Every structure is written in C-alpha cells, then in structure tokens.
Amino acid sequence: MCTVKTGFAPKKIMYSENKKKWYKERYRQRKEHGLCTNCGKPAMANKTLCKECAEKKKNKYREDRAFFKTLGLCPKCGKNKLFSSEKTCPECLAYAEKINAKCAIKTAGSKEAYNKQVYQKARQRCDEQNLCIMCKIRERAEGHIHCEECLEKRRIKGREIRKKQKKVGITRSERTTYGLCYCCGKPLDREGKKCIKCAAKVTNNLPRIKATEHWKKDNNLIFRGGKQDDKIQK
C-alpha cells in the first residue's frame, strides 16, 4: 500500500505565513525611512519605489498586459476572456468603479472633484520636481513639460492621426464643412467651428495667453486701464 506522509503541510503553511509577516514588516520599515520597498535604495519623493524599480514595474505591467491581450484575456486580471470590443472584463470594471466611488466620496464628495484633485496634486508634484507630466518618472526636456521619450510618442501618435485623416480625405480646413470640430475632428455638438470641449479649453486658456508679452506685441495692444496706446490710435 502507498502511504502518505503527513506533517509537512502545516510546516509549509507556517513557513509561508512567517514569510508574509517578514515581508510586511520589511515593507513598513522601508516606507517609514523613505526607502524603496523593493530594493532598499532611497525612494522618490512621496513614493514607495525608486526610479529604477518604478521603471521596471511599469515595463513589467505593460509586458503582462500585451501578453494577456494576445491570448484574448483581460489585461488586468489575466483570467477572464474578452468578447467583441471589451477592453477589460466586467468583474474588473465593477471592482474598479466600486473602489473609485468609495475614494471619491471619502475625499472630495464626487468622482469629478476627486479626479480633479488627483490631477492637480500630480501636476504640482511634477512641476516641483521637474518631471514629465505624462510618465511622471523621467525629467522634462528643455522648454517642454514632457520628457524626450514621451515627446517622441506624442509626435508619432500625431503623425498616425494625420495619416488617417489624409486617407479619409478630410483636411483640417475642411472639417467644419463636414460638421466636424476644427480642433479635434469629432462631430460638432454646438453651433460654430469648435465642439463644447474644445471651446471651453480655448476660453479657459485665453486670459493666460493674453497676459503674455508675445500676444500683446503680435496684436499691437498695450492695456492701460482698458484703453489702447496712443501710438496705436494714431
């Protein structure tokens, strides 16, 4: 008869539990001392990882997502199959919405206000540390708010969009004749050349643009109590 050895499973369970406790304690100590929780080197400001580990984690996450997509699985959990145009499985979507709703209500009272707060904090941190606002890891290129790699990605994406538009045969100047927004190319949802979203962006940025010397020189306007300069009137 075949005998089954007993007594190994409890030891294995105890060992795994002790190991988990040890990892949790190490994580806590490194976090308290401002060290990377993975390698023990100095971590980035207000972060739990150093630059190298953060970059490795990001690349690993991207590789896993790409691998799961090739298999037709959910890129987040890697378990459930995707159907038709689904990007994530219903379980992951429901879980994400639940967590986001809880965080939003606790901190800001609404999801929109919470997202705005998160963006403002991230932007402020990037401005203080001179980090790219897209990847939030690498330093900004000179005269830009993005790093060199993210700038190149944006350029490539812009070229692809322009190629698609050329294939369709609609140029930027012809968008309005086809009922499309002059800025983004999406269908117009209001009267005029721009959609509501693009029009709001322009109106919000206009005071900041008008305040620059470049705008004043180009338009030959000098604001002094709401009056134009005497030279311009002549």
Write the DSSP assignment of 13-38 as a string of letters.
HHHHHHHHHHHHHHHHHHHHTTB-TT
**In tens digits, what is the pLDDT along the chain, a chain of 234 residues?**
444 444 445 555 565 778 888 888 999 999 898 999 999 899 888 888 998 999 999 899 889 988 988 888 888 888 888 887 788 888 888 888 888 777 777 766 777 777 788 888 888 988 888 999 888 888 998 888 899 999 999 888 888 877 776 655 677 777 888 788 888 878 888 888 888 888 888 877 766 555 555 555 555 544 444 444 444 444
With CA atoms as reference, report the closest residue to 48 among 30, 62, 65: 30
Per DSSP, the three-state class of 113 is helix
